[in-house]
Chains A and B, each alone.
Chain A
Amino acid sequence: AQSVTQLGSHVSVSEGALVLLRCNYSSSVPPYLFWYVQYPNQGLQLLLKYTSAATLVKGINGFEAEFKKSETSFHLTKPSAHMSDAAEYFCAVSEAGGADGLTFGKGTHLIIQP
């Protein structure tokens, strides 16, 4: 069965610093991987997705993620944090090309220090 582990329920960085949110997955087939962001009292918004093409995926708002099969990882990064990046971030996996319901991690709360 597929699963996702997000290391660190809370991550705090200073404004302008590098953001690194960690995600490891487990899948019996080549997966599709996603990062979603959730702002307070809102639904989830797609940041980026990996669908077996390029291993380095660029998303919205300056975020990117790299698929590393050998490490079963899909970590999310952003070179310079902005106050508006403060939110909850979820990593998700699909084993059926996205046709099934996604399996989500528990989320990482990103805090931006001024």
Chain B
Amino acid sequence: EAGVAQSPRYKIIEKRQSVAFWCNPISGHATLYWYQQILGQGPKLLIQFQNNGVVDDSQLPKDRFSAERLKGVDSTLKIQPAKLEDSAVYLCASRPPTTGELFFGEGSRLTVL
């Protein structure tokens, strides 16, 4: 079974530029999450989707971050404009319908200079 796919793995941008990350969850997983993991900290939930609807985006900085999940499958997380403090690993995870565990991708590491 294929795992959660994310791209790109690494991205370096200047502050005020924009960036987009892509995630393809495990087939059949209706719930998709984006987490932000700053160096030395645990992952922090940014947004949760159920199919193509948003369940929780209370911790998403909506002035600069946006996310969508068209057709209820893959998802894109965008940052525009980026700030230095956005440097982090962005993790995508998906969850099967019958269990509580999350399956994570390898993450996209963003460096903002």
Contact = CB atoms under 8 A, between A and B. Distances in A.
A98 B99 contact: yes
A43 B41 contact: no
A28 interface: no
Contacts of A41: 106, 109
Interface residues of B, number: 26
A49 B103 CA distance: 13
Interface string B15-45: 0000000000000000101010000111111
Given A34-B101, A94-B100, A99-B100, A104 B44 contact: yes
B98 to A, nearest CB: 10
A49 B100 contact: yes
Contacts of B69: none
Interface of A: 4, 9, 32, 34, 36, 41-46, 49, 51, 90, 92, 94, 97-107
Interface of B: 4, 31, 33, 35, 40-45, 48, 55-56, 91, 93, 95, 99-107, 109
24 contacts: A41-B106, A43-B106, A44-B102, A45-B104, A46-B103, A49-B101, A94-B100, A98-B95, A98-B99, A98-B100, A98-B101, A98-B102, A99-B31, A99-B100, A100-B48, A100-B55, A102-B45, A104-B42, A104-B44, A106-B40, A106-B41, A107-B40, A107-B41, A107-B42
